[in-house]
A and B are shown apart, each in its own frame.
Chain A
Amino acid sequence: MSDFATRWIATFVGAVIGLTLGLLYTWIIAPVELVNTYPALLRTDYRQSWVRLAALSYVVDYDLERTRSRLDGLKQDDVSGAIQALIEESAAAGWPADTLRSLTTLAEALDVQTPAMLVYLYTSTPLPSAPINTPSSMPTRPATRTSMPRASPSLTVDTPEPTRTPRDASPLITPTPEPTSTPPSPTPTPPLLARLGLVRQEQLCEPGQMLQVQILVTDERGAGIPGVEVWLMWSGGADRAVTGLKPGKGAGYVDFEAEPSASYVLGVGELGTPLVTDLQVEPCPYEGDEEPLMGSWRVVLGPRPLATRESDDNG
């Protein structure tokens, strides 16, 4: 081997040894000190805990800027996930509505969206009402984040502008030379809640199931409506819940635990207007020698057809 090659090999071997020693020292013996880290580097559960703490602090101090700065640098997914979970847990735990409203206000400000929010963002109205014949104003199912309505008309008190039917402008109506000061008033649209009725009722028979009364409130198109107050009343008691708090089961879904011996009345709205009466847990259809299974109920509520309106339209 030539002298030249030997020298270069020696240099290379030395460099490898030096590099190895250097990395050993900097990566293992004296690595960069684990101090002065920041929230984004926290372990996932601690990051979520951080977001949760920031949101809870907002509930107390209402300082949005401070909350934003606390969440600054964290991924939106972390923020969304933790706040969604907090809202849903809090709703399920029966936290005061004001607290939940604060949380949902924060969520909205941070562009975090969860169906459970709708209930608390827009419950300033006594009853959710949905205008009929205006499909675009029906509540949109919050299947995607981008489609979440910021101010769903179905959940506001804004009365939609009455639309004139073609009959109003019909040339068959004799025009009068002087316009009347009071144009013919359109038929007032009853709120959706006032039109809710029983669509169907089915017994659920699955071994090991918890006895429940499950309610699904739907609109004309069969889409679930969040934010509807549902009452389950029985002799000596009543329970109330709001649709949409279990987003996984649908925006219009709500359920109650049921007792085999009780007879229930199902109502909706602030006054619990009864829609289904004498609802009782009953045995499922008998099969062989097995002990009969008690069945839960699934009740679908939806708007009843407007007979008067239809007859008007036809006439």
Chain B
Amino acid sequence: MSERAGLLPRWGTRVIVGVVVGLALGFAIGWWLWPVQYTNTEPGVLRQDYRDDYIIMVATAYEAEGSLELARERLSLLDPEEPSVPVVELAERLVEAGGAAEDIERLTRLAWALGALTPTLVPDMEGRP
């Protein structure tokens, strides 16, 4: 018996090669060819831009419907504990980034209605100059 065969049987080497090949295939299949397909997702896992749009739409719909309860219910899909937080965060981010004034005002009005107005947003309640 050779020295190599003494350390690891020949079939053992083959098993290791097989495992490595199999793992590579598994990773390729699982992450690339047929990754887990998510459907039936919730708004909370939307990409940031869609999430922002969702919040703006909730604020705009609040203007149309006038139902704070509905707005709160919709926002709780993003943050069940503090539904107003996403609104305030987005409004402040838009203020900093110089976002659309109408969007900021709608978000601010909704934040105010939810009792979450912050000093940064106060000027937008009266119309930012």
Contacts and interface: CB of A to CB of B under 8 A. Distances in A.
Asked if chains A and B come from one complex, the reply is: yes
Interface stretch (B10-18, B80-88, B89-97, B115-123): B10-18
Contact of B61 (A14, A24, A27, A57): A57
Interface string B5-37: 000001110111111111111110111000110
Contacts of A11: 14-15, 17-18, 21
A14 B41 contact: no
B39 A56 contact: no
Given A10-B18, A21-B23, A56 B64 contact: yes
A308 B95 CA distance: 72
Give the bracket for the number of chain A residues in contact with chain B: 35 or more
Contacts of B56: 57
A172 interface: no
Interface string A39-50: 101111010011
B57 interface: yes
Contacts of B4: none
Contacts of B38: 32, 34, 37, 41
A99 B27 CA distance: 53
B54 A14 contact: no
B interface majority secondary structure: helix
Interface string A4-24: 001111111111111111111
B24 A60 contact: no
A50 B30 CA distance: 31
B36 A20 contact: no
Interface of B: 10-12, 14-27, 29-31, 35-36, 38-43, 45-48, 50, 53-54, 56-58, 60-61, 63-65, 74, 77, 102, 106
Given A10-B18, A13-B18, 16 more contacts: A6-B10, A10-B12, A13-B15, A15-B25, A19-B26, A20-B26, A22-B22, A26-B27, A37-B46, A37-B50, A38-B46, A43-B40, A50-B54, A50-B57, A53-B61, A56-B61
Interface of A: 3, 6-27, 31-32, 34-39, 41-44, 46, 49-50, 52-54, 56-57, 59-61, 70, 99
Instruction: Rank and list the top 10 A-B pairs by shortest CB-CB distance, nearest first.
Output: A22-B26, A14-B18, A18-B22, A26-B30, A10-B14, A18-B19, A19-B22, A53-B57, A14-B15, A10-B11
